[in-house]
Amino acid sequence: MSTAAVLTAKDFANELDIRWCPGCGDYSILKQVQTVLPQIGASIENTVFVSGIGCSSRFPYYMNTYGLHTIHGRATAVASGLKASRPDLDVWIISGDGDSMSIGAGHTIHLLRRNLNVNMLVFNNQIYGLTKGQYSPTSEENKVTKSSPMGSIDHPFNPAALALGADASFVARSMDRDPKHLQEMLKRAYNHKGTSFLEIYQNCNIFNDGAFEIFTEKSSKKMQTLFVEQGKPLIFGENNELGIKLDGFKPVVVNLNEGHSIDELWIHDEKDLSKASILVRMFDNPMLEGDHLPRPFGVFYVNERPTYESAFHNQIASAKGKKAELDALIAGKETWTVA
Amino acid sequence: MSATIEKLSEVVIKFAGDSGDGMQLTGGQFTNAAALYGNDLATFPDYPAEIRAPQGTIPGVSGFQLHFSSNEVYTPGDYCDVLVAMNAAALKANLKNLKKGGIIIANTDGYDTKNLRLANYPDGVNPLEDGSLDGYKVYKIDVTRLTRESLAEVAGLGMKEKDRSKNMFVLGFLYWMYNRNMDFTINFLNEKFGKKPDILEANLRVLKAGYNYGDTTETFMNRYDVPKAKVEAGTYRSIMGNQAVAIGFVAAAQQANLPLFLASYPITPATDILHDLSKYKNFGVETMQCEDEIASICAAIGASYGGHLAITTSSGPGIALKGEAMGLAVMMELPLVVVNIQRGGPSTGLPTKTEQADLLQAIYGRNGECPMIVISCSTPSDCFDVAIEASRLSLEHMTPVMLLSDGYIANGAEPWKFPKAADLPTINVKFKTGLEEGEEKYLPYKRNEKLARAWVLPGTPDMQHRLGGLEKDFLTGAVSYDAENHERMVKVRQAKVDNVADYIPAQKIEVGAEKGKVLVLGWGSTYGSIKSTVLELIAEGHSVSHAHVRYMNPLPKNLGDLIKQFDHVLIPEINNGQFIKIVRDKFLVDAKGYNKIQGTPISKTELKSFIIENYFSK
Ligand code: SF4
């Protein structure tokens, strides 16, 4: 294996021309990944990026690691076979909302329930970019696109809630426009032993520009987003004056300047499945008039449970105690001899 | 009391009854006893399509056919000499395959009003009573009553449990009829029910009662003897096709010094390979049951990239789903063996019936110009060799291979003079771990004399590269939309598969002269029928030869010349004419087809009369 020389982001990049549209949110994600990998001590040759099809799935080409650009929706399945058979490798799955929530949704949920120790990054831009702009399974209702001139009639998936429903052992959300937060989430995902599901809001400035503007722009970000941190109360707002408290199972917004105390607030506990279920369900459409909850970002849920590949190889290791002679296998249990 | 013993050279017995009657076990026991005795044999089970088909009905009939002989045996037999019919439905479903004058052993309890009605006999009609079976020797035995009587003194067992051993009565009776020793089954029962003494006792008693029934009943005057066959000396076992595929891959992995990885989704009739390989974890075999067919081939591709002998197993409908991923493996030029245990199609088709109708799908059924090596199995034991050969070609040529078997050989069994592990072929696999002398840069798509690119495993320092489904540059493997490069890549992928013809054996004539009037050209599971037909025709003085193709794509280099030595080429297939299209296309010969698409093997009788009628009747 290669020397333990100190690596930098550059070591993980290669000289290939990047073909994403100028201004695409993918650039930022690529940069944060390249920045984070040396910080977490990843090795170039033991890292494999596996992608499906879509704009985001070009990602492995821009990494100086091993990589597979597979077929639409199947990165999860290819990565499962790779990680199960080669637990020594660091496997990252790069997928988009179409790839992981539509054509490959079937594999996504099975990856999550099996809990292979891989990191799955879902670049959610709520649109099909590579095919030039059709609504995706995460597009909001009534979205006007080339394939939905009268507005889409499909109800969207909420990827984080879907992942939690599929028993993911790590569920988090971040955004392309907040490098610091994204880097933090990438590190958390990498350090989690099990499948880490990280949804990243990514702007497609060509076909769905500004889809997440309300969460990313300075003018609205503070009021519309809620960054959760382990052990901390849920607080947001221009001057952190707003908080979330639980009224039974119902999250409600309270103003700390209007008689509410910080002690009433919901304290984030990423190990609490029930609370995580409420958190990922905080999915109000911010464009709607009237009161609504902010959109949460951060690590919603973490649960350490055995990984698929460890159970897979434990079984083999324990079976290996039994004799394994090829001649005996070929002969089977009953033989007879003809003189 | 002392029945005369008549010598026979061969016998075909069909054991048929309701799914719950234990006919598979009965047939299997008689088979093993015959094998131990020294007969040559072949068997074929015939299961109901539904897991819980209604009792007593024709769809619920389960059968097991055994052909045992003092000569060489190539098929489970077209028509049976003896039909064991445990109920009216079993009789109705199988009578058409009983030889005229054949023996029917009927369990009269299975012919009461209810069973007759369930088998759709008109009211008041009982075939055992109405003279319709006059052309056969009918032995009516009230097996249920005799079983109960022989267990009258056994306490501790309910009526249901007692009745469950009635198949042992039939087995004992057949052992008497064919003058066989019961030790094999006695040992088997001791092992199986050693911990349940009541059940063991009941089965042993009933088995012996069946035997003694033959001995003491005046009704049955005839016993038969089928002497040992002159089979090659050596040690044998009985093998089914799917078992052979499974152990073949374990052997291949060992010969290639690679770990074996199977990803699969259950599908009839391929599932037993998944079952078997899942039992071989002590050999380091990695098996992953995936969420669907697509996931399983994709997981196998992942494992192949990681350096395993990777396989995925399925049948027609699953193969259709795997198509896109096969294209990915072709494009990434990674080894992978895709196993197709063919069944009746299209769509869900006839899951439990056999067919050879996926050949064109195997060779051509993917998008784009997407060549794959395709090889086929001809008999249950041949599956072992073919699994090793498929692995060898895939690993040494760095390209996916499709292995074709079918339901008939998957579940059929034959004696197998199995090889020693030390005598198996070696498979040469070498991972590239760094640059060689004079090499400046790693070029992922640089090829060797086989046109195979080098296999570099992730984890290898300084050899990082990216593979994918987009068109590749001829040398660097980088994404390339260049027009000329694409044409060059299409041609090189084709040439790589075509060149495999230099690394496979020449086509042989199986039986008959190298030149003559008719060549019967087969592939896959028609082997036994064709061979036994041609042997008979040759014995009768006709100019007929048989050649059987294993390598379907590419074809052996000499096949064209071999074909041209004959006036006529006949291609029997269990499909609507698929290999014939390829032969006509490649060699421009006016081949004729003999096609049967009834979910069953082609019979010797029909093939023989077709050949005589068409080529030798003037
Ligand atoms: S189409 Fe959208 S998602 Fe795709 S590269 Fe361009 S901006 Fe990015």
**Domain range for B603:** 509-615
| Domain endpoint, select from B421, B442, B475 | B421
| Domain endpoint, select from B171, B202, B225 | B225
Report pLDDT digits (tens) over B309-353.
999 999 999 999 999 999 999 999 999 999 999 999 999 999 989
Distances (CA, A) of B140 to A115, B106, B334, B510: 61, 5, 61, 44
CB B497 within 8 A of CB B554: yes
Portion 103-132 of A in contact with B at CB < 8 A: 106-107, 110
Q: Check whether B384 has a pLDDT greater than 90.
A: yes
Pick from B297, B333, B464 the residue to mutate for testing the A interface (most A CBs within 10 Å).
Answer: B464
Q: Check whether A284 has a pLDDT greater than 60.
A: yes
User: Ligand 1 mean position to A38 CA, how many Å?
Assistant: 27
CB A125 within 8 A of CB A91: no
Ligand 1 and A21: CB distance under 6 A: yes
Same domain flag for B350 and B376: yes
Average pLDDT, rounded, for chain B: 95
Residues of A in contact with B459 (CB under 8 A): 1, 45-46, 66, 86, 88-89
Among B187-196, B359-368, B456-465, name the one with the lowest average pLDDT.
Answer: B187-196
Q: What is the pTM of this model?
A: 0.94
Residues of A in contact with B384 (CB under 8 A): 330
Of A327, A335, A339, which has the smallest distance from its Cβ to B421's Cβ?
A: A327
CB B563 within 8 A of CB B583: yes
Closest CA to B548 of A153, B166, A106, B533: B533
Q: Is residue B365 part of a domain?
A: yes
- Residue A2 is predicted with a pLDDT of 46
Ligand 1 and A227: CB distance under 6 A: no
Same domain flag for B135 and B270: no
**Cβ neighbours for B123, distance < 8 A, ≥ 6 positions apart:** B117
Mean pLDDT (whole number) for B139-154: 93
Ligand 1 and A125: CB distance under 6 A: yes
Closest CA to A295 of A307, A310, A303, A284: A284
Report pLDDT digits (tens) over A169-186.
999 999 999 999 999 999
Helix (H, G, I), strand (E, B) or coil at B582: helix
- Using a CB–CB cutoff of 8 Å, tell me whether A312 touches chain B: yes
Report pLDDT digits (tens) over A188-198.
999 999 999 99
| Domain endpoint, select from B164, B190, B225 | B225
- Residue A3 is predicted with a pLDDT of 47
Q: Is residue B474 part of a domain?
A: no
User: Ligand 1 mean position to A23 CA, how many Å?
Assistant: 8
Same domain flag for B265 and B300: yes
- Using a CB–CB cutoff of 8 Å, tell me whether A251 touches chain B: no
- The answer to whether the CB atoms of A326 and B251 lie below 8 A apart is yes
- Residue A289 is predicted with a pLDDT of 66
Portion 526-545 of B in contact with A at CB < 8 A: none
CB B209 within 8 A of CB B146: yes
Q: CA A124 to CA B559: how far, in whole Å?
A: 55
Long-range contacts for A105-109 (Cβ within 8 Å, ≥24 apart)?
A105/A73, A105/A137, A105/A157, A105/A162, A106/A73, A106/B291, A106/B292, A106/B295, A107/A73, A107/A74, A107/A76, A107/A77, A107/A80, A107/B291, A107/B292, A107/B294, A107/B295, A107/B298, A108/A76, A108/A162, A108/A163, A108/A166, A109/A162, A109/A166
Tokens of B39: 């007969």
Between B44 and A169, the higher pLDDT residue: A169
Same domain flag for B190 and B300: no
Closest CA to B298 of B324, B325, B268, B276: B325
Mean pLDDT (whole number) for B128-151: 94
Closest CA to B571 of B617, B518, B612: B518
Tokens of A146: 């080339």
Closest CA to B192 of B210, B208, B204, B175: B204
Q: Which class in CATH covers the domain with range A9-216?
A: alpha beta
Q: What is the tally of structural domains in chain B?
A: 3
Q: Least CA distance to B329: which residue of chain A?
A: A70
Task: Identify any residues that bridge with B566 across adjacent strands, giving them in sequence order.
Answer: B516
Same domain flag for B259 and B192: no
Same domain flag for B205 and B249: no
In single-letter form, the type of residue at position A102 comes to S
- Residue B219 is predicted with a pLDDT of 63
Q: Is residue B255 part of a domain?
A: yes
Closest CA to A80 of A105, A59, A60, A108: A108
Ligand 1 and A204: CB distance under 6 A: yes
- Residue B1 is predicted with a pLDDT of 46
- Using a CB–CB cutoff of 8 Å, tell me whether B284 touches chain A: yes
Report pLDDT digits (tens) over A18-41.
999 999 999 999 999 999 999 999
- Using a CB–CB cutoff of 8 Å, tell me whether A55 touches chain B: no
Q: CA A234 to CA B450: how far, in whole Å?
A: 63
Q: Check whether B216 has a pLDDT greater than 90.
A: no
Phi, psi for A230 (deg, rounded to 5): -55, 130
Report pLDDT digits (tens) over B167-200.
999 999 999 999 999 999 999 999 999 999 999 9
- The answer to whether the CB atoms of A89 and B306 lie below 8 A apart is yes
Of B250, B299, B300, which has the smallest distance from its Cβ to A329's Cβ?
A: B250
CATH number at residue B409: 3.40.50.970
Residues in chain A: 339
Same domain flag for B57 and B141: yes
Same domain flag for B65 and B159: yes
Q: Is B152 exposed, middle or buried (0-12, 13-18, 19+ CB in 10 A)?
A: exposed
Same domain flag for B181 and B270: no
Q: Least CA distance to B444: which residue of chain A?
A: A66
CATH number at residue B524: 3.40.50.920
Half-sphere exposure of B471 (CA within 13 A, CB side): 16
Does the ipTM exceed 0.95?
Answer: yes
Closest CA to B419 of B234, B294, B617, B146: B234
Q: Is residue B440 part of a domain?
A: no
Report pLDDT digits (tens) over A198-218.
999 999 999 999 999 999 999
Q: CA A129 to CA A127: how far, in whole Å?
A: 6
- Residue B3 is predicted with a pLDDT of 62
- Residue B220 is predicted with a pLDDT of 61
Same domain flag for B213 and B66: yes
Q: Is residue B68 part of a domain?
A: yes
Pick from B298, B333, B427 the residue to mutate for testing the A interface (most A CBs within 10 Å).
Answer: B298
Q: CA A303 to CA A275: how far, in whole Å?
A: 13
Same domain flag for B156 and B192: yes
- The answer to whether the CB atoms of B235 and A337 lie below 8 A apart is yes
User: Quick one: pLDDT band at residue A97, thresholds 50, 70, 90?
Assistant: very high
Q: Is residue B483 part of a domain?
A: no
Report pLDDT digits (tens) over B565-577.
999 999 999 999 9
Q: Check whether B301 has a pLDDT greater than 80.
A: yes
Portion 314-343 of B in contact with A at CB < 8 A: 324-325, 327-328, 332
Closest CA to B385 of B423, B334, B341: B423
Same domain flag for B316 and B208: no
- The answer to whether the CB atoms of B254 and A326 lie below 8 A apart is yes
CB B166 within 8 A of CB B143: yes
Q: Check whether A123 has a pLDDT greater than 70.
A: yes
Q: How far is B31 from chain A (nearest CA, A)?
A: 12
